[in-house]
Structure 1
């Protein structure tokens, strides 16, 4: 799952293509700023596979590309301006909408995910098998007229899941390749089926918006932003709701459903990332304390959590890190700056890092493909 910076970044997406640079790294420092690979605590002889550190073997830089997720090992889901669409409203005046496209890393070819309408595409959630993408379509960059859409990638066919929802960027998670858990922007959490019927798992007041939702077994986790960004656990059998914590800005369930990553506000300018057991949320491990947490994502096998952080303290944590979910050990992959998204490839052998910044008042978008070992 990726952080809610998508809408902001898409305002800066105005690109037509990209160029790439590939470097062999072998775990040392790169020659391509701003990336520096660090492997400070690498053991000479790992005792077991669990203790084996993750390092970067190869780096490819894709200039002008803003990637959002992987579809498979060779294709990225990217956002770019649709030159054929009509202009729609934004805070900066009418602009052509940014939409989702499929980028092939080998051929460098780009194709639209869905036949164009004059809407901006935001917050994509890709199924584990890469066959489906759920995202929000909005009639303006201010998230007006939103609706949730599910697209079948091979055919491009789609159906509307939620229409005229008020949230515009509800994040959910796939429990498997056939079922997506997501809020509908109208006070309910849905289980969306790719082959089965959609089901309402939880229904509250229509004014309630769930920022994040995920399910493991009979437990439904969700974040309600009002009034206290409350993370709750709801037992679907007993209908009992338990408050896990408050001031939670993001949560993400591991693919195997056993662990929960939680980003919590612990001060005016402090964010803390925790790992916890999904069956007993009182058992927690503090992974990082930082000024800002930009993005995090679970590896497909649930063994690692990749995250991007910024700390105003020069000696603090800055860049992209990978945490071992079993040992809590953390390795830095690079001091990437202005990170918008991190995402594992389906095999867990690649990591995508996309960055967004402004240089001379112009947007500069770059995606890095990290080959891991």
Structure 2
């Protein structure tokens, strides 16, 4: 029995309209519409054609209903003119990742969510409140993916075919999710993670999280979270030159442009100095890249430990993919490009509920 919502999800994941899928499969537009609405069901041979065209195993279409991520609850960090079909495709990929999360959650004890949803504090105050709650003080933030995971945020990578989408976040019930583009520089990836944390804290799960004002607030939160006021004032001079900015950015592991913005925000650069620094940094290639920047991408420790633990007990990633009804290629898009190898099971214990608990570090 084919599940209509799974046909729709698979089509959106590939960024296709009904008309385009009709052309690919030779199935009439009306028939496809009927399949997705559940008015009629496709025959076995037709399911095979859908499977081949959409790149999903036949078993995927026969699974239980899937609830897509809610559009209204997503904070998009994407280009202004990103096509709706691209956002739909990224949302569909996120929906599949939540299925992986549920599979993992049934077998492992994951950290409980510890992300405060604050009233309406300004971004600077919100960032300081979260830092205090998480015991960070004013020291530079550690690995951002590890930090989020240790406080109960489920972090997955975005498929590389969504270059226009930098990141997005949402609350799914009481569980916060963040999805990150791995095609960015390490420094910009850290900022994206902090930006999405800002959305989770200030704009969810019950508050508006879209629009220019929400994006500005999340940017300001990320800036304050990654570069605390007291830390920046203690390390950076007034009127810092570009070479000082490039040297200073390594303290907080941020982009040169992000530090320049923060210096201006803290009145350590005048308007003229800020514009001049941005112009020079741009001429040196810092507008779109981070020359001589960090090389080691921040990735998920939870996903690494989960798949290492599974393999140590004989469960291979291909088994997980098969149980989810997806291909290994699809699974890999969620895993930050991790190469999962077998380990001896260290850092893992079995809890009283039968789930395996993971030992995490930040």
Q: Same fold (TM over 0.5)?
A: no
TM-score by length of 1: 0.26
Q: Which has the higher helix share?
A: 2
Higher relative contact order structure (alpha carbons within 8 Å, sequence separation ≥ 6): 2
Q: Which has the higher strand share?
A: 1
TM-score by length of 2: 0.27
